[in-house]
């Protein structure tokens, strides 16, 4: 977890490693940049703390973590704290109290800080106009953008753009390039291997160390590319039809690769475990892999219930060809957008085994009717209970979906690769019972077990 230092005599906060050397009695520490800003401090011009990852601590209560996920997804861009509290089944007053106690900020202050920091990075790294930066960062108007940037950074967007350093600007042959900062280390090889093993043909591709996929933005097709950048950042190249709401594209990519994840508590808790300890040391910085599309990973998990990986890949290719929207003219094997739940619920699935087709079509219909079935903002117990109530959805499948959607304690006990790793460690007993010792970091444990199951690719 990054700790920010704020100097009460200057009103400035810094990231670790800044060259400033204030007197210790004048320093206050904050775990979040937003917390320092809420206390009245502004970002240091030398170390620029908005350019480093600032993950929310994994030891925060589950409800706070779920609320943060929803805020990152844009719940407060146009919504209110009251609506967010209703979605989480708590009062807005209680939600604000929880945020204040555990994060030192209100939900609105956290959302404002995220938008402002993302906008500041766009002003530094890109040549987008100030207006484009405003709407790409999730601001509702230029007036709100100017007001919040002055509040957070004590300067207007134009003044901030004029302060950028020459080395900041990222240029690309087409597309917009952005840095995705993370707290090192991050095990890129294991993450990209996981995604390559589960890549949807025609929709995703992992080649030469670059992850690529098609994306849909308000019905228009785009392409994103993610690669290793430096020791503390990944590089995202976005080819989009327009830039409005770009912050949510970047946040979704960030969740896929865990750039905001705080792995320290899980690593500390599991470091001495006889099974997981060696795996953690073998792959330092491995994050729990996330997902671009909730429905997409759910379909892959449903197909994996009764089929091996190669067969699942062929079935996904058939679904994409049959029901996906074609996107002509792309390279690297990208040809389609993944079909929506509404489309798949009506599609001809006769190419699949009859039982699989019934389960998948019923699942797609249920999600089309109630998208909240895949809402990561609910508790793990409620999430898995809702999915397993659908015909044909097994408990381990629901857990696999929950893991990819960010539930930290999800554990897909029947995953074939995970079971292979346990068998290789001489563990023949029920893996779900064994995993009780890994609570509440079972998703982190499962990710290491799965990565270890494909050593030739993940190492």
Q: How many helices and strands (H and E) does the chain possess?
A: 23, 11
Please report the sign of the dihedral spanned by the C-alpha atoms of residue 450, residue 456, residue 458, residue 459.
Answer: positive
Residue 19 DSSP one-character state: S
Catalytic residue among 14, 44, 47, 65: 14
The backbone region for 250, taken as left when phi is positive above 0, alpha when psi lies in -120 to 50, beta otherwise, is alpha
14 flagged as catalytic: yes
Catalytic residue among 127, 415, 419, 430: 415
Contact predicate 37/24, CB 8 Å: no
Query: Residue 181 is inside which H or E element, if any?
Result: strand 176-181
Length of the chain: 459
Give burial (CB, 10 Å; 0-12/13-18/19+) of 73. Answer: middle
239 phi and psi angles, rounded to 5 deg: -115, 95
Specify the residue for token string 């484009």: 132
415 flagged as catalytic: yes
Contact predicate 87/66, CB 8 Å: no
- DSSP β-bridge partners for residue 207: 210
DSSP states of 251-269 as a string?
Answer: HHHHHHHTTT---HHHHHH
What are the distances in angstroms from CA 307 to CA 104, 296, 348, 356? 47, 17, 19, 10
Query: Residue 227 is inside which H or E element, if any?
Result: strand 220-230
- Residue 144 token pair: 């709100």
Preceding peptide of 440 cis, ω within 30°:
yes
- Which residues, including other chains, have CB under 8 Å from residue 45's CB and lie 6 or more apart? 163
Specify the residue for token string 């690669």: 227
259 phi and psi angles, rounded to 5 deg: -65, -25
- Which residues, including other chains, have CB under 8 Å from residue 382's CB and lie 6 or more apart? none
* Cα separation, 299 vs 301, whole angstroms: 5
Q: Which residues are catalytic?
A: 14, 415
């Amino acid at each position: 977890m990054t700790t920010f230092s704020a100097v009460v005599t200057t009103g400035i906060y810094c990231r670790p490693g800044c060259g400033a050397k204030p007197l210790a009695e004048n320093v206050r520490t904050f775990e979040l940049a937003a917390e320092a800003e809420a206390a009245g401090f502004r970002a240091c011009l030398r170390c620029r703390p908005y350019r480093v990852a600032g993950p929310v601590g994994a030891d925060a209560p589950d409800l706070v973590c779920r609320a943060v996920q929803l805020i990152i997804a844009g719940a407060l861009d146009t919504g209110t704290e009251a609506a967010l509290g209703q979605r989480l089944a708590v009062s807005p007053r209680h939600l604000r109290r929880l945020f204040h106690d555990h994060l030192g900020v209100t939900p609105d202050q956290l959302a404002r800080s995220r938008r402002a920091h993302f906008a500041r990075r766009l002003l530094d790294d890109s040549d987008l106009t100030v207006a484009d930066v405003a709407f790409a960062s999730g601001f509702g108007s230029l007036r709100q953008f100017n007001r919040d940037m002055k509040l957070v950074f004590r300067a207007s967007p134009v003044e901030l753009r004029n302060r950028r350093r020459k080395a900041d600007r990222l240029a690309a042959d087409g597309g917009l390039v952005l840095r995705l900062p993370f707290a090192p280390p991050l095990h890129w090889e294991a993450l990209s291997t996981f995604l390559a093993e589960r890549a949807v043909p025609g929709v995703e591709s992992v080649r030469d160390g670059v992850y690529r996929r098609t994306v849909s933005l308000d019905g228009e097709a785009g392409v994103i590319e993610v690669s290793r950048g430096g020791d503390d950042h990944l590089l995202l190249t976005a080819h989009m039809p327009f830039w409005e709401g770009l912050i949510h594209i970047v946040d979704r990519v960030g969740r896929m690769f865990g750039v905001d994840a705080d792995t320290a508590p899980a690593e500390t808790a599991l470091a001495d475990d006889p099974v997981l300890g060696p795996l953690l040391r073998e792959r330092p910085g491995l994050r729990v892999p996330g997902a671009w599309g909730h429905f997409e990973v759910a379909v892959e998990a449903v197909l994996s219930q009764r089929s091996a990986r190669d067969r699942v890949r062929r079935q996904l290719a058939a679904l994409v060809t049959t029901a996906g929207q074609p996107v002509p003219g792309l390279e690297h094997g990208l040809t389609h957008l993944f079909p929506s739940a509404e489309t798949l619920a009506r599609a001809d699935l006769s190419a699949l085994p009859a039982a699989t087709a019934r389960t998948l079509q019923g699942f797609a219909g249920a999600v089309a009717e109630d998208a909240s079935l895949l809402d990561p903002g609910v508790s793990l117990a409620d999430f898995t209970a809702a999915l397993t109530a659908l015909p044909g959805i097994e408990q381990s499948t629901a857990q696999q979906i929950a893991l990819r959607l960010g539930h930290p304690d999800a554990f897909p006990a029947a995953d074939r690769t995970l079971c292979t790793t346990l068998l290789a460690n001489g563990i023949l007993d029920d893996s779900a019972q064994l995993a009780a010792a890994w609570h509440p970091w079972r998703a982190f444990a499962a990710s290491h077990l799965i990565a270890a199951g494909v050593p030739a690719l993940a190492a």
